[in-house]
Amino acid sequence: MNISLPKQLESKLAPRRRSPERRQRMGGEYGLFFSQSLRSISVTASLFPSSRFLASALLRPIDFGSAQVIVELGIGTGAITKEILRRLNPNAVLLGVDLNPAFVSHVRRNIQDSRFIPILGQAERLGALLSRHGITRADAIVSSLGLTAMHPSQRTTILKQAAAHLTPDGVLTQYQYLHASGKPNWAASLGLVRFAEKEFLKAHFRQVATERVLWNLPPAKVYTCRF
C-alpha cells in the first residue's frame, strides 16, 4: 500500500544532500587536515577535524551574548572557527592562533569575516601575540591543542599564558581524546601513555568540569575551566 505524505513533511524526511561545491570544499579541508596531521601528529593529535558535536560541547560554556574577545588556540582548517563566528556578536572579535602556516593560509582564504583575525604563532607566546592587536585579555579561550603529546614544560607555559590572559570571569575550554586520558606518567609527553589532563588543568583553574563527546572521531572529553 502506497502512502503519500504531505510535501512539507516529505521534505523534512528527505535526506540532506550537499552541493557539489560543498562536497569538494569539505573534501579539500579533510585532505589538508589529514596530510598536515601526518607530518605533525604530535601537534594536531588527530587525523580528523573536530566534529560539530565536539564544537558544540566546546562552545556551550561561553556566554556569546557578552563575550567581546575570544581566542582559539589551534584553528586547524577552521571547523570550530566557523562555529564560533556563527555565534559571535557583530562587534566582537575572534583571534585564531596556529603554528602551522598551511592551516593559517587556508583559513585566510576560506573564512572572509572582518571579526576574525588569523595569527601564525605559538600559543606559548599568547600574551605577545594578543598585544600586537591591542588586546590584553580574552573573555574565552577555546583550545584544540594536543596537550597530551607535549613536553610538560611546554603545556605548562601554554596554560600559564592562557590563565594570565583571561578575564577574571572568563572560561577556557579544552578537549582530550578519551583513549589518552588517565593517570599521570613520565612518558605522557611522548604520547606513549595516558595523561591526567583534568589534574593538570586543576593546577591552573579552581573549577574544572568535564563532558564526554562520543560522537566524534575519536571520542573526546571536553574540559571547562574557570577561576
C-alpha separations of 124 from 74, 97, 99, 128, 169 in Å = 12, 11, 10, 9, 22
106 Rama sector, left if φ>0, alpha if ψ -120 to 50, beta otherwise: alpha
pLDDT band at 10 (very low <50, low <70, confident <90, very high): very low
Which residues on adjacent β-strands are paired with residue 141? 71, 172
Give dist(CA 118, CA 114) in Å, integer: 11
Quick one: 134 exposed, middle or buried, by C-beta within 10 A (0-12, 13-18, 19+)? exposed
Q: How many angstroms separate the first and last alpha carbons of the chain?
A: 62
* pTM for the structure as a whole: 0.78
Instruction: Answer yes or no: are the C-beta atoms of 173 and 213 closer than 8 Å.
Output: no
Inform me whether the pLDDT recorded for 31 exceeds 50: yes
pLDDT attached to residue 191: 47
Q: What is the predicted pLDDT for the residue at 208?
A: 98
pLDDT at 184 over 80: no
Residue 39 binned pLDDT confidence (cut-offs 50, 70, 90): low
Residue 24 has pLDDT above 70, yes or no: no
